[in-house]
Amino acid sequence: MALEITDSSFQETVLKSDKPVLVDFWAVWCGPCRTLGPIIEEVANDFEGKAVVGKVDVDNNQEISMQYGIRNIPTVLIFKNGEVVDKLVGVTPKEVIAEKLSAHL
């Protein structure tokens, strides 16, 4: 299951992780975000133990969203060693997300 990541947990969960981290920036009112949600959950299950998969609600965590320039949602960022190494904007097929994340394992 995807972790809920907040402004206060972001540094510890994402930036200090020793594994790649996929972060889905989303909002409750966003239709495409609701379409992507189940895909993110599947990716979280598939990569359990190999990568961290989490979600940031942009309405409740504006600090992180602004810091990473999130203008459109859903946006998925992949972090490795505290740095953004990949970015996907919009609803993306599971295969593409899994391929991108696998490249950073």
All domains of the chain, ordered by start, with CATH?
3-103 (3.40.30.10)
16-70: pLDDT as tens digits:
999 999 999 999 999 999 999 999 999 999 999 999 999 999 999 999 999 999 9
Read off the tokens for 60.
């409740």
d(CA 79, CA 15): 8
Please tell me which residue in 3, 17, 19, 30 is annotated as part of the active site. 30
Residue 78: name the closest of 102, 48, 46, 58 by CA: 102
Residue 21: predicted pLDDT: 98
Give strand pairing partners of 3. Answer: 54
Residue 84: predicted pLDDT: 98
Q: For residue 42, what are the contacts with CB-CB under 8 A and spacing of at least 6?
A: 94
CA Rg value for the chain: 12
Residue 36: name the closest of 97, 79, 83, 86 by CA: 97
5-26: pLDDT as tens digits:
999 999 999 999 999 999 999 9
| Annotation says 33 is catalytic | yes
Please tell me which residue in 2, 5, 23, 33 is annotated as part of the active site. 33
| Annotation says 7 is catalytic | no
Residue 33: predicted pLDDT: 98
